[in-house]
């Protein structure tokens, strides 16, 4: 822990010197360990703040105003575009003198952004070999670097000066640490197959205020370059989120329901005019399967 912290501080120091935007240094220790462990941790006697902490100079944080001055090292989707919020309309300059672009890794796409059979795939999968370098797409500051057992495995989230965030999942090794300033093209980790992944690949997401947008809107994954210099985002870019939240049918005509406390298959079936047997068939479960609160159940 102590070693990791000192490395993190050094990296930030060096990066800060390398670019004029990052002028301040860290004031307090920050949490650089995976936060999944519930054990309280302290470094050098200081309290480690885990959620919504602003433990380092706030002038380092890119686009604070766009993000309600939050800097959350735990939660990917905070703050979040609310489904149906039609006031979301923004034009972002993707590259400026202080923010260039570098392709995260140059392999072919193995799975695109969009609806898969049962769920929304909110990123793009790029083929790679375990150990291949993964590069920061734009300049920015690392917000999250942690391990997520059931999902992204080792992953990193960077907030960029252009207002977007990018996520890099299933890494075999994390190199960048939270609060580290980073330039486009810097190696932030090594590709791998950790978390919920079959076969080594990079799961790459582009987000605005906690919601994924289609990376193809701004990036050419065949040319390995940016398509446009600035991007207009509005609520139509997050339409899938609204559908997902409201339970409206997705483009494949399926309907999903999020399981709540007190639900039973019989109850859900009654609400959606379907039978318990059909619910079991649609979801590959039996009548005796325990319904886990928060999980999605296909009802049509
Ligand atoms: Zn993926």
Same-domain status, 291 and 150: no
Average pLDDT of span 136-161: 94
Most confident of 20-29, 65-74, 192-201: 192-201
Same domain, 185 and 290: no
The confidence score (pLDDT) of residue 259 equals 84
**Cα 18 to averaged position of ligand 1 atoms, centre (Å):** 33
pLDDT tens for each residue of 56-93: 666 778 888 888 888 888 888 877 877 667 677 889 99
Looking at the structure, do residues 143 and 75 belong to the same domain, yes or no?
yes
Ligand 1 centre distance from Cα of residue 249 (Å): 22
In a domain, 17, yes or no: no
Predicted local confidence at residue 292, as pLDDT = 85
Residue 78: give its domain's CATH number: 2.70.70.10
pLDDT at res. 83: 63
CATH number of the domain residue 263 falls in: 3.10.350.10
Specify whether 169 is located in the same domain as 210. Answer: yes
Q: Are residues 135 and 266 in the same domain?
A: no
Note whether 293 and 156 are same-domain residues: no
Ligand 1 centroid from CA 245, angstroms: 20
- How many A from CA of 13 to the centre of ligand 1? 33
Instruction: State the distance from the centre of ligand 1 to the C-alpha of 286, rounded, in angstroms.
Output: 28
The CA 5 to ligand 1 mean position distance, Å, reads 30
**Percentage of the chain surpassing pLDDT 70?**
73
Residue 7 domain-assigned (yes or no): no
Give burial (CB, 10 Å; 0-12/13-18/19+) of 56.
buried
pLDDT digits (tens, 9 = 90+) for 199-221: 999 999 999 999 999 999 999 99
- Ligand 1 centre from 204 Cα, in Å? 7
> For 78-114, b where at least 16 C-beta lie within 10 A, e where not — what string?
eeebbbebeebeeebebbeeebebbbbbebebeeebe
203 C-alpha vs ligand 1 centroid, how far in Å?
4
Q: How many domains does the chain have?
A: 2
Mean pLDDT of 95-112: 88
CA 168–ligand 1 middle distance (angstroms): 10
CA of 72 to the centre of ligand 1 (A): 23
Query: Is 19 among the domain residues?
Result: no
Distance 252 CA to ligand 1 centre (A): 19
Same domain? For 86 and 208 the reply is: yes
Distance (Å) from CA 181 to ligand 1 centroid: 25
Nearest one of 26, 23, 75, 27 to 50, comparing CA atoms: 75
What is the domain range of residue 231?
Answer: 62-241
Q: How far is the CA of 201 from the centre of ligand 1 (A)?
A: 8
CA 169 to centroid of ligand 1, rounded, Å: 8
Q: Are residues 286 and 222 in the same domain?
A: no
Q: Is residue 215 part of a domain?
A: yes
Task: Name the residue among 151, 150, 155, 189 with its Cα closest to residue 173.
Answer: 189
User: Can you name the residues that pair with 200 across neighbouring β-strands?
Assistant: none
Q: Same domain for 131 and 185?
A: yes
CA of 123 to the centre of ligand 1 (A): 5
Q: How far is the CA of 185 from the centre of ligand 1 (A)?
A: 21
Residue 221 lies in a domain: yes
pLDDT score recorded for residue 36: 34
Question: What is the tens place of the pLDDT at every residue in 238-276?
Answer: 877 655 444 444 455 567 788 888 888 998 888 888 889
């Amino acid at each position: 822990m102590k070693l990791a912290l000192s490395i993190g501080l050094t990296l930030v120091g060096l990066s800060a010197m390398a670019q004029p935007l990052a002028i301040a240094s860290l004031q307090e220790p920050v949490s650089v360990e995976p936060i999944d462990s519930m054990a309280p941790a302290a470094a050098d006697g200081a309290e480690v703040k885990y959620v919504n902490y602003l433990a380092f100079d706030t002038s380092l944080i890119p686009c604070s105003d766009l993000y309600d001055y939050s800097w959350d090292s735990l939660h990917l989707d905070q703050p979040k575009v609310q489904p149906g919020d039609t006031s979301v309309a923004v034009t972002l300059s993707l590259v400026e003198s202080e923010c260039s672009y570098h392709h995260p890794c140059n392999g072919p796409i193995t799975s695109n952004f969009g609806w898969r059979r049962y769920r929304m795939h909110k990123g793009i999968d790029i083929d790679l070999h375990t150990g291949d370098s993964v590069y920061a797409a734009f300049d920015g500051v690392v917000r999250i670097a942690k391990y997520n057992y059931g999902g992204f495995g080792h992953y990193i989230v960077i907030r960029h000066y252009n207002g977007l965030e990018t996520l890099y999942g299933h890494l075999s090794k994390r190199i960048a640490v939270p609060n580290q300033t980073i330039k486009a093209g810097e190696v932030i980790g090594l590709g791998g197959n950790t978390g919920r992944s079959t076969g080594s690949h990079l799961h790459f997401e582009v987000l605005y205020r906690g919601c994924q947008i289609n990376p193809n809107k701004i990036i050419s994954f065949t040319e390995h370059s940016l398509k446009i210099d600035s991007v207009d985002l509005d609520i139509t870019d997050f339409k899938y989120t609204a559908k997902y939240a409201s339970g409206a049918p997705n483009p494949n005509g399926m309907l999903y329901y999020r399981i709540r406390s007190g639900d039973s298959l019989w109850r859900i079936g009654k609400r959606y005019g379907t039978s318990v047997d059909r619910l079991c068939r649609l979801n590959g479960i039996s009548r005796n399967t325990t319904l886990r609160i928060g999980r999605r159940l296909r009802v049509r």
